[in-house]
Structures are given as C-alpha cells and as structure tokens.
Amino acid sequence: MQPLGVDEPTVVGPYRLLGRLGSGGMGRVYLGRSAGGRTVAVKIVHPHLALDEEFRARFRREVEAARRVGGAWTAPVLDAGPDAAVPWVATAYAAGPSLSSAVADSGALPAHSVRALGAGLAEALAAVHELGLVHRDVKPSNVLLTLDGPLLIDFGIARAMDGTASLTSTGVSVGSPGYMSPEQIIGKGVNGAADVFSLGAVLAYAATGEPPFSGDSSAALLYKVVHEEPELGSLDGELRELVAACLAKDPAARPTPGEVGRRLAPDGAARLVAGGWLPGALVEQVSRGAVRLLNLDVAEEAASGPVAFSRPATVGEFGPPPVMPASLPQAPAAVPEPRDAAPPQDAVPAADQRPGKLSVSVAAASTPGEGGRGRRLSCTVALAVAGAMAAVTVGSVFLFDLLPGRDQDTNAGADTASSPAPSKEATTPAGNSVPARYLGTWEGKATVLDGALSAGTFRLTVHKAEVGDEVGTLRQTDLIGGACNDVLTLKQVTAKELVVTSVGRETNHGGCNPKPHTVRIIPTGDDLLYRSESDAEGNPEARLSKVE
C-alpha cells in the first residue's frame, strides 16, 4: 500500500481513505474505513470516465447487479456512489496478497493449494453465472489469497467498461491479454464459457509460475490465444487434463464452472480450505498484513498518543503496548472480541482444529477523540501455525500476554547452540577502552523468547569510548516499521565481550522500554552477537553483521 499523494482524496462518500492499494485501466483502488470501523476497498473511476454518460449508465447497472453476488469466494459490493461527481464503489476488504504478487514473490503454488484455488473460483463463477453476470476479467491480479480461501474480485466492473466509447483510448482494453478467451479477442458473443477459459489460464499460472500463453507484446499474446495451444509446462495428471479442457478454443467444449469445481473438490471447496490451504510462507505474509492493517490508525494518529482498546478487559493499550511484567500470568489476558467474532476455539469441532490453519478476525470501532483525532480499535488475532506463533510488536515491547502456554520463566533455556553463553574467561577485565573489533555500524534480524519470535531489525553503532562513557546507540525497527532508539553506556570491557547499559531515549514513543537494562555484545566469527537481559522485551537477541 502506498501513502496518499497530495492530489488524492482523503474521504470518499462515508469512507476515510488510509492509503492507495493500486490502480488500473478504470481507476484507482484505496484502502478505506467507515465511521463504524469497517475496512473496505474503495475503487474510484478515472475522472475522464466520469464525463461519459454511457459509462455512468453501465456502471450503475453493473454495480446494482454486482450487489447481488456477495456469496462465498467473492468480495461483496457494500456501497457505491454511481451518481457522484466521480463514481466509486466499495467492496469488503480482504487481507491477503493477489495471486500475481504471491507467485511473483514465492513461486508456483503446491498442488493442494491449486486444487483449493480452482474449486473456490469455480464455485464463485457458478454462482455469478446463475445471476446472469459474466466477469470477463478473471486473471491473477483479480484473485486474492486469504486464510479463509481464494476471493474473486471486480465483479461486473469489466462488463461495465465493455462497449463504452471512451474506453477505446490507447492503453485501455476490455480484459487482459493472455487471460482473455479467443471469443473475447475476435469480438464474438461472450458468455460464461469465457470465464472458464480465463480460469484455466489462472490455474496454469498458479501451478507452474508461468502463464500458458507468452509473448513480447499484447498483439503476440492475443495471436497465441486464438491460434496456438497453451504451454502447460510441469502440469501433469488430472489437473493438466482439466486445465487443458478449460483452455479449449471452442467455448462449447469447455466444462462448466460447476463441473470444474466437482472435479477438483468432490466434497466442496470449503472442505479443502478448512484443512489449511496456503503454504507456510503465505500464511506468515497474510498474518503480517493483518497486523499492519490493525496498526494503520495508530501510525496515522501517532501524534495524539496511545489509543486505548474499546473495551476495558485488555492487555493494555493498542498502539504502544505495555511493558511486559516481571513474571507472566498463568493464563493469557483477555482480548476484546470484535463485532461478528468467530466462535471460540473450544466451540470448533476437533476435526477443524488442524495445524497450519490460521484465523484472523479484525474489527475497529471509530469514535472521535479530542480534536476529532482519537480512534479506538478492538481486534482479535488468533494464530495457530504448525507449532509457531507470530508476534505483534510496536517498538521493543511485546504483547506477550497474548501467547498462551508460555513458561513463566522467560530466562529458562536462554542459551542456544547458535548463541553460546560467555565462558568464565569472558569476565576477565581487558581494559577500559573499546577494542577496534567492535567499532562501526552493525545490522541484523532480532528474535525474542529463545528465537521463537521475530523482533524486527536491530542496527547497532559502536564508537570509541571509556568505561562510564556513552559507547553507541541501538535502533530497533519492528515488523510494522515502528522504531525505538536506545543509548548505550559502556559498563565493562572483558576479553570476550562488552557489557553495556541500554536506556531508551526520552523522545521514544510510549511503546518503547524506558527502563535501563544490561546488554552483552559478543564477537561471533565476523559478526557481533547482541544479547539483551531485558525481561520486559523478551530478552532480545540478534546476530549483527557490519555494514559501515
């Protein structure tokens, strides 16, 4: 997501815009939030299209038709302003990357993910076709990968553009080359079979990492779609046969969406998704995206200070979190449930409580504070990912009370094979000055709780100093970009380590740890091992490499 430019709106209809998600031939898409706290995706059409009355009429008809979709595996239309000076439409926001960005970042999806993807999209298309709609622009960038399954977006919008005179301008086309059906390209009548062709191309891309039709230009792509057979690469078995059938040149030879869904998931797409359908790397990416979403208001309203939860039974304040207590409670503190909360874990059948399944439910309640700036949020982020937990951090202090089953002794087993404890020789005085070995700027990834959770990036700067003097600084940048700056004072120099006292700067935000604590800096190969003895921060540890 990109920040809003100086020439971009901050409010559209009843929605406050938080940032720009992307843009396309029809307009720009923004992340927005309603006064009631619902997060939405708001698409605003390009101003020149707003001047075309034919486009407005089609846009209005298609938005009304798209409102009726709203079933499983689609992002429903929630609101629209077809008669506004610049028309817009708002759909439910889904936390998850597009298929195109996921494949570009992580490569092709595993076979079980492709089957769940295809089954969900096929069921979505079957429901839409029953309403008399045709998507006409099924492509990887219009497919979102969420923890609860795939979502097909932009229903009806491509159809609203079809046949509009002003859309024949350079660079704008109806559909996407390489994913359009042959009948779309040559201008024949288009029905639901065109969406099935596009679905086949999407599944080939998801399974192989490459589109089934390639070319150096749009013209080359369109020619291959009409006249040449698809390139299916490593696809084999039943999945290859099904994709090939979807990509048949003759629309009548293609299976229906219902047939595609039954062949991929005889018991329905929901059964495939329920067992955890995304690979681990994408699960982590989606969970981090949900964390960033929850903190958008905190980042935007940082000047107004900490923002409290909307209910009293909380771990602390959302925004700058509380300093961790000296000992952890036996049970995790309660977190307020959002509106439309999912049932509690103990109410979910045992068959659905599988490793690899991660669920995130998000809600935010917005109320004006002093000067109209204050915002109150409530959230539930429940993570159960194959034996690992993801941390929600702001600065250097963690919401450890959200981690169930954590042993109260956070220092137990702190030494690991990769982080050897200093030997007795390390306590031998080696002088009062910092050896040249330590000087410079060092950077690396940090973890807490004996390496169980990521703590973002640490950047350490060490300069010449004597015992009792300031020896350097540490900048801690968490997973969502929040930063804490500590000042380090040299406490002791031994043969094998520096012992320093770390204190947060007065200018830090409230989520940073303000209490002095001991840090040991130990040479390890060509790197430095940074080990903090701060229970409040989960005893962070980082292996730092020299960058300057």
Quote the CA–CA distance of 533 and 80 in Å, as a whole number. 54
Quote the CA–CA distance of 427 and 34 in Å, as a whole number. 59
Quote the CA–CA distance of 548 and 45 in Å, as a whole number. 47
Tokens of 172: 């704008």
Question: Terminus-to-terminus CA distance in the chain, angstroms?
Answer: 31
Which residue of the set 79, 83, 105, 137 is catalytic? 137
For the chain, the helix, strand and coil percentages under 3-state DSSP, each to the nearest 5: 30, 25, 45
Alpha helices in 33-156 (DSSP H): 47-50, 53-66, 99-106, 111-130
* Residue 424 marked in a binding site: no
Active site residue 137: yes
Q: Decide: 222 and 177 in contact? Cβ < 8 Å.
A: yes
Q: Which element (helix H / strand E) includes 219?
A: helix 218-227
CA dihedral 424, 426, 427, 429 (to 10 degrees): 140
Quote the CA–CA distance of 79 and 118 in Å, as a whole number. 28
Quote the CA–CA distance of 176 and 169 in Å, as a whole number. 15
Alpha helices in 107-191 (DSSP H): 111-130, 157-161, 182-186
Quote the CA–CA distance of 253 and 547 in Å, as a whole number. 60
Phi, psi of 507 (to 5 degrees): -80, -5
Quote the CA–CA distance of 18 and 301 in Å, as a whole number. 11
Cβ-Cβ contacts under 8 Å for 446 (sequence gap 6 or more): 454, 455, 456, 457, 458, 476, 530, 540, 541, 542
Residue 418 burial class via C-beta count within 10 angstroms: exposed 0-12, middle 13-18, buried 19 and up: exposed
List, by residue number, the catalytic residues.
Answer: 137
Query: Which residues are part of a known binding site?
Result: 43
Task: Mark the binding-site residues for ATP, compressed into ranges.
Answer: 43
